[in-house]
Structure 1
Amino acid sequence: MDSGTTAEGDGFGALGIEPALVAAVNGLGYEEPTAIQRAAIPPLLAGRDVLGQAATGTGKTAAFALPLLQRVARRGGEPAGAVRALVLVPTRELAMQVAEAVHKYGRALGVAVLPIYGGQSLQQQLRALQRGVDVVVATPGRALDHVRRGTLDLRAVDVVVLDEADEMLDLGFAEDLEALFAAVPAERQTALFSATMARRILAIAQRHQRDPEHVTIVDEVQPAGEGPRVREVAYVVRRADKVAALARILDMEDPTSAIVFCRMRTEVDELTETLAARGLGAEALHGGLTQEQRDRVLRRFRDNTSDVLVATDVAARGLDIEHVSHVVNFDLPASPDAYVHRIGRTGRAGRAGVAITLVEAREHRLLRNIEQTTKRRIVTESVPTVHEMRARRLEHTRDALETTLAEGDLERFRPLVEALAAEHDVFDVAAAAVKLALDARDGAQDDEEIVHIPPPPPIPPARQAAKRRPPPPKAGVERLYVGLGRNAGIRPADLVGAITNEARIDARAIGAIEIADRFSLVEVPSDAADAIIRALRQTTIRGKPMRPRRERFG
């Protein structure tokens, strides 16, 4: 896929999608087709059967939904309320997800969509079917139950889609699928998508498809030494606390430059204004800006005149800024594919980067879906407390004072200090000056604690076992073991601070950080590992020794 231009010739319209559907997709934040969409949409629009292989999160839903909607909307002559398209999926969760996507894409065309799955009220499904629907998204067992009851008539179906076909077979739906194929017309279009192309999948294709177009999308492989080094972390917060949480996290992380992603342009404007009021140099980037305004915002961000760029996905398409240290998902992306695109804007050219995601408690399943798709763990942490924020700001103030002392040129302030010292203790005078400096910068905006939300459930043990020990680091990188972890209150910022302050290592050279209950793992440059170990052996965090060493493998 290209770098992100939004030229009309590179969008969904160039694939043959009708303007109403293009507008619907763009309105949801997507302007560029993914690889599977570019490959599958044209043959589907041409009426061909498609046999597609692609992983979850690559954009398969839109790849079959957009041609399906266009075909259904154009077709006439059927009885009112006849089901024209059948989409079969393995689970109720996927049925709801696909039905919601089809509904959003097809709303402007007046296409009615109904999800059918077990555990839902049968009477509710019956009433909806009696009113009439154009597209049914169903699990095989419940769809076949309706067919046998005579409540789901598939004789007018023109399109059949099997999504996640391999998983449906794994769940034992093979016989149900055959029965459903027998209930739909022989003259139809059939699209089959699967993450694998095992023999049994090919057998289904051979029996039920006509000369299908084969589409295979494989994951791109990063060249050795060029892959991103991104630390991925999530914070579970209430929606009402998101802005305050973001401000604290940015304060603790102290990014050199950050992009914060929001879903809507109104949210971008509101968040930009709030962050600016809190002293952060934030700029807004969304589709409501003129080209001149957009160029001015990007120029300031590239020149480090502004620290934070608050943007929508559409507006950020095509950005190529190498120095982005942090990417923040203020809203959880709509798909794993969107997540990967967002965080790909940090960790460029081998640099270290940080990807932060704010998650509401009800979204934890979406977070786990991203983990399973990307095959990477997203560490869940707690939002910084008031105590931690005050300690951090005191550290900043101390650093600023030491710099000012080193620079000198303090003679003109001595008379005032001497006059105050004659009436008050000199330490009280200094403390009052520090208090004034902190109040002038931060006021009392962080006096209230943010409600702590327990982290989402862990990955199931069967999957977690495979991830318990990460693979050895790549060439030129050493992984260090530190004998303090989550139980000791250790945070990534603590480890980064210890390494940069004690070993005099640039923070950008520090790679991935994993914090377990009793220990932590940190990736550092191999040629600096010995110096870092020596420095950390003389250092404590929260009064506890770090006991650093190289990680042992095997």
Structure 2
Amino acid sequence: MSPSEEAVSFTDLALRSELLKALADLGYEEPTPIQRESIPPIAAGSDVLGQAATGTGKTAAFALPILQRLADGDRGVNPAALVLVPTRELAIQVSQAFHRYGRDLGVRVLPIYGGQPIGRQLQALRRGVDVIIATPGRAIDHINRGTLDLGEVTTVVLDEADEMLDMGFVEDIEAILDETSEQRQTVLFSATMPPRIGTLAKRYLRDPVRIEMGRQEPARGEAPKVRQSAYMVSRAHKPAALGRILDTESPAAAIVFCRTREEVDELTETLNGRGYRAEPLHGGMSQDQRDRVMARLRAGTADLLIATDVAARGLDIDLLTHVVNYNVPSATEAYVHRIGRVGRAGREGVAITLAEPREHRMLKTIEQATKQRFTIEKLPTVADLRTRRLEMTRAAVQENLIAGDRLERFRVVVESLGDEFDIVDIALAAVQLAHESSGNEIDEQEIPDQSDAVSRKARHEEPERRGGKSANRSTAGTVKLFFGLGRRANIRPQDLVGAIANEAGLSGRDIGAIEISDRFSLVEVPAGAADDVISALRNSTVKGKKLVVRRESFAARKRNR
């Protein structure tokens, strides 16, 4: 094992006390591989070129050293660090991370992105900001207005760089970088390394430290017999989605892996509220507490263990049937170690991963490393859960009928009711009572299913990885959408690509030809995604103007010329 691979703590990375306290309060127990490799060179001021997929913990990998380098005391008005991200969702997430890590440092963080009132951003910029998290388009807007001065920026981070290039932001990125000092530190993270990323890095990075994550080979040995599946679900719906999956799977014993102690405690409380017998396990617990949890699990008085990787090391549970990754694991070897806990001794185990749509690339990285594919499943619907409950009621009644001799004392009740009611109606009433007494009311709210959009995206990325053109770039399988804004509204191709990618979840690769006229624009999108794009953009704005989006028609084009 190389020194960089040895187990280290955040303390070993020489972080300042305020950051260590924030990490401890958040329940982070040890750095992920990308954090372990990236924090020292970034904190030292080196340029970094990193390959790491979403879900590897790279936000902390650049946020912590940026906060480490912030000056104490009065830090002036203009930002010292700029983080460019492809979408407003990611801008919000990264901003929240900076706030959490830097709360004891008094860090001033501002996310700037389209769709947010610009007046609020202007007020914050006038008061003073330490770190800006921005989408390229909105950053350019502020630069052109003269409201964003990047002259004092010492560190620039390009996060999800390949996504930003796919969305058509390369010119904006270059223009933004040209507004900063040539002596700045530049950090670039990308899930993939196509030639254009190399071109960008060669132009703007100086002798960068190169870091590559997510390509580790799985441990050798006999492959476990494991059914591997993934569910695409947004972060807000994860707790409800997990409950439904567990309702459907009915595991005899399962471990649910979380990233932090805080997440373990919150999820344990949520699942117990749904009627499960869940127990937490993390590094903040004493050995006695851990022993009592494991005793309850082995005795069958608990059926769910909610744990962090660190706390679950060395556990060997013979009855374990399911492993659930509540988040996509930060490294391939972590995934391999987790699923190795089930499927032993010839028994089939089940490995389930809950992934946010933007984490699909990390799933692909795991597939490539393990040479096994995930089955992308659809989340159980309300109808599915009702069917499942009826099946369980039927099984319970059937088991009771087989017992036979225990039913005799109830015969007098059935016979007396038989004088007034049909025997089938009596049976239906009895089954209804049994069904309703089983408890666990069904959550009637449907959870949005995002598996179709991700599957479409994966299908269209595959030809590009093989060196061919995406099917969406061809005329076949695409339609043109009419956008009621054009050159008179200062609309650029990247504005349209960014709006579609942000709101409808399509990649820049999925978007075909773009034609911008004076009063309208035409954008080519996959035929199967056209209605989703129209629906997603219905209440959106670009350049402060409301979008009118519909399928192209010759009559509409003629009216708007």
Same-fold status (TM-score > 0.5): yes
Q: Match of 2:363?
A: 374
Aligned amino acid, residue 341 of structure 2: R
Hey, what's the Cα distance between the residues in 1 that align with 2:358 and 2:199? 29
Q: Match of 2:80?
A: 84
Q: Match of 1:348?
A: 341
Give the C-alpha shift of residue 181 in structure 1.
2.6
Contact 1:285 1:309 in 2 (8 A): no
1:450 counterpart (429, 444, 454) = 444
For structure 2, the 5+ residue unaligned runs are: 365-373, 463-561
Q: Match of 1:256?
A: 252
Alpha-carbon distance change, 33 to 268 in structure 1, aligned in 2, over 3 angstroms:
same
Aligned amino acid, residue 369 of structure 1: R
Contact 2:360 2:454 in 1 (8 A): no
SS at match of 2:65: helix
Alpha-carbon distance change, 381 to 47 in structure 1, aligned in 2, over 3 angstroms:
same
Q: Match of 2:8?
A: 10
Map 1:17-416 to 2 at 5 A: 17-74=15-72, 78=75, 80-222=76-218, 223=220, 226=223, 229-232=226-229, 234=231, 250=246, 252-260=248-256, 264=263, 267=266, 270-271=269-270, 274=273, 278=275, 281-286=277-282, 289-301=285-297, 303-313=298-308, 316-318=311-313, 320-321=315-316, 323-328=319-324, 333=327, 337=330, 345-346=338-339, 348=341, 350-351=343-344, 352-355=348-351, 367-375=356-364, 376=374, 377-383=376-382, 384-386=384-386, 388-399=388-399, 402=402
Aligned amino acid, residue 57 of structure 2: G
Q: Match of 2:368?
A: none
Alpha-carbon distance change, 167 to 46 in structure 1, aligned in 2, over 3 angstroms:
same
Alpha-carbon distance change, 163 to 467 in structure 1, aligned in 2, over 3 angstroms:
closer
Give the C-alpha shift of residue 64 in structure 1.
0.8
Contact 1:287 1:314 in 2 (8 A): no
SS at match of 2:150: coil
Contact 1:11 1:33 in 2 (8 A): yes
Q: Deviations over 1:186-235 (max 9, x none)?
A: 33322122233344433433333332211122422334752673343659
Hey, what's the Cα distance between the residues in 1 that align with 2:277 and 2:78? 56
Hey, what's the Cα distance between the residues in 2 that align with 1:154 and 1:264? 37
Map 1:439-518 to 2 at 5 A: 443=437, 445-446=439-440, 450-453=444-447, 455-456=449-450, 458-459=452-453, 462-463=456-457, 465=459
Hey, what's the Cα distance between the residues in 2 that align with 1:205 and 1:38? 22
Hey, what's the Cα distance between the residues in 2 that align with 1:238 and 1:210? 37
Hey, what's the Cα distance between the residues in 2 that align with 1:46 and 1:153? 25
Aligned amino acid, residue 179 of structure 1: A
Hey, what's the Cα distance between the residues in 2 that align with 1:122 and 1:33? 36
Hey, what's the Cα distance between the residues in 2 that align with 1:287 and 1:248? 28
User: TM-score by structure 2 length?
Assistant: 0.64
Q: Match of 1:537?
A: none
Aligned amino acid, residue 267 of structure 1: E
Q: Deviations over 1:308-366 (max 9, x none)?
A: 2342537744253354212457xx64x663999689634636553335678xxxxxxx6
Hey, what's the Cα distance between the residues in 1 that align with 2:239 and 2:52? 34
Could you tell which deviates more after superposition, 349-358 or 214-223? 349-358
SS at match of 1:455: coil
Q: Deviations over 1:245-285 (max 9, x none)?
A: 8777646533221234675465356446546xx5x654343
Hey, what's the Cα distance between the residues in 1 that align with 2:54 and 2:411? 69
Alpha-carbon distance change, 320 to 400 in structure 1, aligned in 2, over 3 angstroms:
farther
Contact 2:154 2:181 in 1 (8 A): yes
Give the C-alpha shift of residue 104 in structure 1.
1.9
Hey, what's the Cα distance between the residues in 1 that align with 2:360 and 2:225? 16
Give the C-alpha shift of residue 288 in structure 1.
5.7
Q: Deviations over 1:53-110 (max 9, x none)?
A: 2223222211111101111145x675x2221101122333332222222222222211
Map 1:419-430 to 2 at 5 A: none
Give the C-alpha shift of residue 40 in structure 1.
1.0
SS at match of 2:83: strand
Hey, what's the Cα distance between the residues in 2 that align with 1:170 and 1:433? 62
Hey, what's the Cα distance between the residues in 1 that align with 2:48 and 2:287? 40
Give the C-alpha shift of residue 460 in structure 1.
5.8
Alpha-carbon distance change, 391 to 101 in structure 1, aligned in 2, over 3 angstroms:
same
Contact 2:108 2:129 in 1 (8 A): yes
Aligned amino acid, residue 455 of structure 1: D
Hey, what's the Cα distance between the residues in 2 that align with 1:218 and 1:241? 24
Contact 2:234 2:357 in 1 (8 A): no
Q: Match of 2:369?
A: none
Q: What is the aligned length?
A: 440
Hey, what's the Cα distance between the residues in 2 that align with 1:165 and 1:467? 16
Give the C-alpha shift of residue 461 in structure 1.
6.9
Hey, what's the Cα distance between the residues in 2 that align with 1:83 and 1:321? 50
Hey, what's the Cα distance between the residues in 1 that align with 2:66 and 2:337? 31
Hey, what's the Cα distance between the residues in 1 that align with 2:413 and 2:167? 79
Alpha-carbon distance change, 455 to 189 in structure 1, aligned in 2, over 3 angstroms:
closer
Hey, what's the Cα distance between the residues in 2 that align with 1:96 and 1:240? 17
For structure 1, the 5+ residue unaligned runs are: 359-365, 469-554
Hey, what's the Cα distance between the residues in 2 that align with 1:77 and 1:421? 83
Contact 2:55 2:330 in 1 (8 A): yes
Aligned amino acid, residue 90 of structure 2: L
Alpha-carbon distance change, 444 to 51 in structure 1, aligned in 2, over 3 angstroms:
closer
Hey, what's the Cα distance between the residues in 2 that align with 1:348 and 1:220? 19
Aligned amino acid, residue 226 of structure 2: R
Contact 1:272 1:283 in 2 (8 A): no
Hey, what's the Cα distance between the residues in 1 that align with 2:461 and 2:396? 37
Alpha-carbon distance change, 148 to 39 in structure 1, aligned in 2, over 3 angstroms:
same
Aligned amino acid, residue 360 of structure 2: E
Q: Deviations over 1:127-163 (max 9, x none)?
A: 1111111001122333233223321111211111122
Hey, what's the Cα distance between the residues in 1 that align with 2:409 and 2:426? 13
Hey, what's the Cα distance between the residues in 1 that align with 2:451 and 2:59? 27
Aligned residues with identical type, % of pairs: 43
